[in-house]
Chains A and B, each alone.
Chain A
Amino acid sequence: MNYNWNWGVLFEEQYLNWLISGFGWTISVALCAWVIALVIGSLVGVGKTVPNKALRAVCSTYVEIFRNVPLLVQMFIWYFAVPELLPDDIGRWMKRDMPNPEFVTAVIALGLYTASRIAEQVRAGIETVPPGLSAAAKAHGLNTAQTYRYVLLPISFRLIVPPLTSEFLTVFKNSSLALTIGLLELTAQSQQIAEYTFQGFEAFTAATVIYVTIALIATLIMQVLERHTRIPGYVGKEA
């Protein structure tokens, strides 16, 4: 194996800036997508448990579609196909005038994809709440909305914090798919540095170290959250 080591390239101004800007995009895409995923995932997850059959069917369909098509294909559909399928005016606006089209598309695609995974966690969380509690709520005269608002959601959201940790880590990793539609996030930047300098080893090591650091920090944040949201008496039980 012959290879000329040169860790210095990582600290040359140009390449260091590429890494920093890649890191910035990775974080931005992941966090924005996470917000979308949490909101839509919660709505869809709740929708899968409500008594209304039609709503349940719509939400199940959402989950099945978004879970069973690879994220890469979804990215391409949002980027290439959706502007063509929408009414002309909006399509033209998306192609020409929308600011940061790669970023917006990546956030939407990643957000809606992750939402389907979060929906499953939310549904599982609601189903683990002992049925006695919703029966008790009913006996107290609470209607369905009130049962969710005051009984099911407060408990189930605290139960699903641990499984959400792994989804939170996954969203950072999956943000790398944004490079396929041309967003220069961390993985893309390291690949570009490798191509420009032929120092693949150093470039990919830098990206790996940054991803591992992100994972460690995200895990720490979630652990603190877990400690604060843990329900006494439920500890150790499968959520």
Chain B
Amino acid sequence: MGDFDFNVIWSSLPFLWQGLQLSLWLTFLAIIGGIVLGTLLALARLSGILPLSLVAATYVNLIRSVPLILVIFWFYFLVPLALGRPVGSFYSALIAFVLFEAAYYSEIMRAGIQSVRTGQVQAGQSTGLNYWQIQRYVVLPQAFRNMIPILVTQGIILFQDTSLVFVVSLRDFMTASSIVARTEGRLVEMYLFAALVYFAICFSGSLLVRNLKSRMAT
């Protein structure tokens, strides 16, 4: 404990920063993709068209019962096979995250859509809007607003989840920390530092959520 080496952290900061940028970029893209696909899944599930809602429900329940690491392995294996040529691990990981997180976002959006009162939909219908117009101008804007705190919370979870790209050696913050830890033989310092960085980011995020919640309550 006495020989704690801060220099190893200091000298590897540029390398770690690159990793962190990859983590944040992956998180950002996966949140956007996950919300878009998740919203479509939620709409399909609530569409009232039986085959469509059945497919969406099966997809969501299937994805939600397997671990993310297995999904990452699946796509790491499937994507190059389907495209017939190797793609970087970044794109395989991104596809895995979007498809995985979409299942969780779809549950949030489903609750959000259901939180919009039916009177709103009826008012839309009586002013002559069609299905897509009602979703676009009436239901979804309110559903999003009601769900913002939960969407942000899911975003924090997603950011933590990106550390799992470690299993396919994609150089995110976690993998970068672990590379430095091994090559420098400074496991204690590097993993505690990684924990501190993740904590700082995720804790700030959860304070933001708390703030949003109390502002929405008033």
Seen from chain A, the residues whose Cβ lies within 8 Å of a Cβ on chain B are 1, 3, 64-65, 67-74, 76-77, 80-81, 84-85, 169, 172-177, 179-180, 187, 190-191, 194, 200-201, 204, 207-208, 211-212, 214-216
CA distance A174 to B156 in the complex (A): 17
> With A77-B191, A81-B187, A81-B188 in contact, do A200 and B77 touch (Cβ < 8 Å)?
yes
Task: Indicate if B28 sits at the interface (CB-CB under 8 A).
Answer: no
Within 8 A of A (CB), among B171-218: 174, 178, 181, 187-188, 191-192, 194-195, 198-199, 202-203, 206
Seen from chain B, the residues whose Cβ lies within 8 Å of a Cβ on chain A are 1, 62, 64-70, 73-74, 77-78, 81-82, 84, 156, 160-161, 163-164, 166-167, 174, 178, 181, 187-188, 191-192, 194-195, 198-199, 202-203, 206
Instruction: For the A-B complex with A1-B84, A190-B73, A200-B81 known, give 4 more contacts whose Cβ atoms are closer than 8 Å.
Output: A68-B203, A73-B191, A187-B67, A200-B73
Pair B69/A176 contact, Cβ less than 8 Å:
yes
CB contact between A173 and one of B1, B68, B163, B167 (< 8 Å): that residue: B68
Residues on A with beta carbons closer than 8 Å to the beta carbon of B167: 179-180
CA distance A64 to B207 in the complex (A): 11
Task: Name A's interface SS.
Answer: helix
Pair B81/A84 contact, Cβ less than 8 Å:
no
CB contact between A84 and one of B187, B195, B203 (< 8 Å): that residue: B187
CB contact between A70 and one of B74, B160, B206 (< 8 Å): that residue: B160
Residues on B with beta carbons closer than 8 Å to the beta carbon of A207: 66, 70
Pair B65/A215 contact, Cβ less than 8 Å:
yes
CB contact between B66 and one of A67, A84, A212 (< 8 Å): that residue: A212
> With A1-B81, A176-B67, A176-B70 in contact, do A77 and B202 touch (Cβ < 8 Å)?
no
Pair A211/B67 contact, Cβ less than 8 Å:
yes
CA distance A64 to B209 in the complex (A): 14
